[in-house]
Chain A
Amino acid sequence: MTEKSYREAISEALSGEMRRDPTVIIMGEDIAGGAGAPGEDDAWGGVLGVTKGLVGEFGRERVLDTPLTESAYIGAAAGAAATGLRPVAELMFVDFMGVCFDQIFNQAAKFRYMFGGKAVTPMVIRTMYGAGFRAASQHSQCLYPIFTHIPGLKVALPSSPYEAKGLLIEAIRDDDPVVFFEHKALYDQTEDVPDEAYTIPFGEANLTREGDDVTIVAFGRMVQFANQAADAVAGEGISCTVIDPRTTSPFDWETVLDCVEETGRLVVVDEASPRCGMATDVAGRVAQEAFDSLKAPIKLVTPPHTPVPFAPNLEDLYIPNPDQVADAVRAVAKV
């Protein structure tokens, strides 16, 4: 066991699965050497270097640099998956996913259903999301609620290096299309990650804190903010359970409902836009199924409903922060 970054954990999941299973291939823009760019074959390894070195070990046949045409290569990945490969396609920023919605929503997500359960589509789309990178409104969105909305897709949001490796290996071995969301701000974070392969099952939430007073459900990068908030209010005598659902589809409703029944108070922290997001989804289900357990109104901590600002000071204001989470916890704990 050694300390690894989120980036290394993802890279290790990819290389490990490529060694284990010859049907695993990876494809995307600039993931090998940069199409047509001079220099070493593995000089790029993706825009943030996650796939660096893989072309050297696995060759151009399994590490495919694609043209800047998401609709083409995401469609190719879906077809490859339907015909026996396990492609992992990297779609740089989730913000660009719009140009290949048909391939994802109408094709990959529907194959199993439209072909009477006879087809499987073991593809993974890896993509970066999230604000805080000074990358402006077209490179900073958290579009996982859109994919969660589509039956037939699975959606994973690893919140730490350990989670990233186990969830990605699970995604690659899964027979359904999985959209795998990597938060840009997490790539350099480190923690102990086993050297061996391991899988974290989808639809099993992780409890990163256990407490009696308030349940906090947080997604992706927000999990650590929720942990910081929980630790901050612990000194004030408020104990929190923090739930990292790990996957938004499938979703571990059982754990969320159990915890809300125990604590009677719920705060949901979501970096996605506030309308039709995971926060409203969780709040709606809890209100429907655990209303009698609630001792206080549910609080949602989300950004405002605006594009992600480019001005650094405004971007900082936009992103939910641990203080806001702690304030929400204090507010519901008082009721």
Chain B
Amino acid sequence: MTGAIQPLTMPKWGLAMTEGMVTEWLAETGETVAAGADLVEIETTKITNVYEAPFSATLRRVVARPDDVVPVGGLLAVFAEPEVSDADIDAFVDAFSEIFEAEQEAEAASEPTSVTITVAGSALRYLAIDGDPAAPPLVLIHGFGGDLMTWMFNQQPLAAGRTVIALDLPGHGGSTKSIGSGDVDTFADLIVAFLDAIAVAEADLGGHSLGGAIALRIAARYPDRVRRLILLASAGLGAEINGDFLDGLINGSRRKEMKAVLSELVADPSLITRDMIEQMMRFKRLDGVVDAMKTIAAACFDGDRQLPATRTGAGDLPHPVLAIWGDGDRILPASHLSALGATTDSHRLADTGHLPHMEKAAAVNTLIDAFLQRQ
């Protein structure tokens, strides 16, 4: 009976993902996998990510082999009870492709798309994925040199419980490349103006790296605008920062240099894909980007130090704080967690670098969701 057959399809991680490449299957045909078990590695335009089994079932047919490029929603594998016949599975695979084409057209129409608005004279690009309007929206702030796509593995899953808004800081992504003074206070003021512009009175704020320092500053200076705070490998909490990394990110132009620099971001350098390197190089070639990066770096950091103007003590904040850090972070040391108050919900993730939300997306999403839903 075909009702017991379940397709496993290419997940959509982030707005820009249209296809993914299977790099390795972590389960064998005939094996029964439990929901949440590592199932298949998929290379995306950013990093290679493990797709965890979305259900518990028996893997009967691998459709997409390693190195196969599959569109989002395309069939990767078929799961079914052992008693389902191979002929039924063949029929399922055939029928799937027909239905898939029709669905693809329908989905393309309902896709959330990024929007650019002008806030206090600055063009800001953001992407909102609507969720439960009763919950406060979650606003996500990326780090230095990143953009809203850094949340590609997080934004959609977290939107199951609330509206999630990710924006590009000035100087980054699709936002203006004029950044003013480029310090944390300037960014904080602009994001509060952005919240005004999109009529958000109170939000949960999530920030990664420099975005964390900005989130902290917003919470300190505009405490009424923030309900809860999520800090991922956050700047703003301690003195040290990897100055060589910043220097390489700003000044490196060749692929080889950029690959070495970006590899510093993750515990497992093999996660860095060709596309991620290419995108970073393309971004840096845009007029004004390198100048913006230099201005921000000079306003926030000094070599291996974070400037006092970048740091905000989180100990005194009235807001509940969730802090997540990779044990193997080579950009900002996980020891900075100790700057946070005793009530902070702190997590150090093993075998994780500076991008916990990408490297350990599922675990991070679970932690964030639980933190935001806590009564």
Contacts and interface: CB of A to CB of B under 8 A. Distances in A.
B285 interface: yes
Nearest to B255: A207
A93 B244 CA distance: 48
Interface residues of B, number: 11
A188 interface: no
Interface residues of A, number: 15
A210 B286 contact: no
B274 interface: yes
A256 B287 CA distance: 28
B253 A201 contact: yes
Contact of A197 (B253, B255, B282, B286): B286
A198 B285 contact: yes
B282 A198 contact: yes
Interface string B220-263: 00000000000000000000000000000000011110000000
Interface string B138-151: 00000000000000
A227 to B, nearest CB: 13
A196 B253 contact: no
A210 B254 CA distance: 15
A204 B282 contact: no
Question: Most B CB atoms within 10 A — which of A196, A199, A234, A258?
Answer: A196
Nearest to B284: A198
A56 interface: no
A200 B278 CA distance: 12
Contacts of B256: 258
A234 B67 CA distance: 10
Contacts of A166: 285
Contacts of A197: 286-287
Nearest to A16: B287
A204 B286 contact: no
Contact of B254 (A162, A194, A200, A204): A204
Contact of A194 (B67, B274, B286): B286
A197 B282 CA distance: 11
Interface in A201-242: 201, 204, 206-207, 210, 234
Contacts of B285: 166, 198-200
A183 B177 CA distance: 33
B208 to A, nearest CB: 23
Given A204-B253, A204-B254, A196 B286 contact: yes
Contact of B274 (A196, A200, A204, A210): A210
B272 to A, nearest CB: 12
B163 to A, nearest CB: 25
A258 B286 CA distance: 27
Interface in B260-297: 274, 282, 285-287
A196 B285 CA distance: 10
Interface string B154-179: 00000000000000000000000100
A312 to B, nearest CB: 34
B286 A198 contact: yes
Contact of B282 (A194, A201, A258): A194
Interface in A151-198: 162, 166, 194, 196-198
Interface in A91-139: none
Nearest to A200: B285
A210 B67 CA distance: 14
Contacts of A234: 67
Question: Most B CB atoms within 10 A — which of A198, A201, A204?
Answer: A198
Contacts of B287: 196-199
A174 B53 CA distance: 53
A210 B278 CA distance: 12
Nearest to B177: A196
Contacts of B282: 162, 194, 198
Contacts of A206: 255
B62 to A, nearest CB: 18
A234 B254 CA distance: 25
Contacts of A207: 255
A216 to B, nearest CB: 16
Nearest to B254: A204
Question: Most A CB atoms within 10 A — which of B67, B253, B274, B285?
Answer: B285
B180 to A, nearest CB: 19
Nearest to A169: B287
B68 to A, nearest CB: 12
A267 to B, nearest CB: 21
A210 B253 CA distance: 18
B177 to A, nearest CB: 8
Contacts of B286: 194, 196-198
A264 to B, nearest CB: 19
A198 B287 CA distance: 5
A200 B282 CA distance: 9
Contacts of A258: 256
Contacts of B253: 201, 204
Contacts of A204: 253-254
A198 B177 CA distance: 12
Contacts of B255: 206-207
Contacts of B274: 210
A162 B278 CA distance: 12
Nearest to A206: B255
A224 to B, nearest CB: 16
Nearest to A197: B287
Interface in A245-289: 258
Interface string B321-334: 00000000000000
Contacts of A198: 282, 285-287
Given A194-B282, A196-B177, A198-B285, 11 more contacts: A162-B282, A166-B285, A194-B286, A196-B286, A197-B286, A199-B285, A199-B287, A201-B253, A207-B255, A234-B67, A258-B256
Of all A-B residue pairs in the complex, the 8 with the closest CB atoms, nearest first, are: A198-B285, A197-B287, A198-B286, A196-B286, A199-B285, A166-B285, A207-B255, A200-B285
11 contacts: A166-B285, A194-B286, A197-B286, A198-B282, A198-B285, A198-B287, A199-B285, A200-B285, A204-B253, A204-B254, A207-B255
